[in-house]
Amino acid sequence: MAKRDYYDVLGVSRDANNEEIKRAYRRQAMQYHPDRNPGDKGAEEKFKEAAEAYEVLHDPEKRSRYDRFGHEGMKSMGFEGFTNVEDIFSAFGDFFRDFGFGGFGDFFGTSTRTTRRTASARGQDLEVKLDLTLEEIVTGVAKKIRVKRYVR
């Protein structure tokens, strides 16, 4: 089966910027995510297709090569897409955790939690609750915060 054009997959124009590509990918990923469509092979295929398109279009070098040579140009670069959903989660794991998706270890019979513990052995992430106005969110803002550190 011939691969669809990556821009068509994400529903963006060829002159879309990285933010538009990212937004389109998030929309597709949320819609076709395996946790939202358990057992739906069609949704899984669309999810893989969107991840593959994003993997190419968000990287300037890969995108340039794709724009010039299409799918054939990606093969010569060593990228032939994702073969299974687990590959996608390993590539975009943090992206999906930001949206509250998890439990992929149970879904695939492997434990991503073990990997996470190993990766964060040097310390845990710091979380701070911070009140922001809508204007600050839209335009961006730099704020100073004080953090108490407890040393064992």
Tell me the domains of the chain and their CATH numbers.
6-125 (1.10.287.110)
Per-residue pLDDT tens listing for the chain (152 residues): 578 899 999 999 999 999 999 999 999 999 999 889 999 999 999 999 999 999 999 999 989 988 988 887 776 555 555 555 555 555 555 555 555 555 444 444 444 444 444 444 556 677 778 888 888 888 888 888 887 766 65
pLDDT of amino acid 47: 92
- Cα distances (Å, whole numbers) of residue 123 to 11, 54, 89: 40, 31, 23
pLDDT of amino acid 151: 64
pTM, two decimals, is 0.51
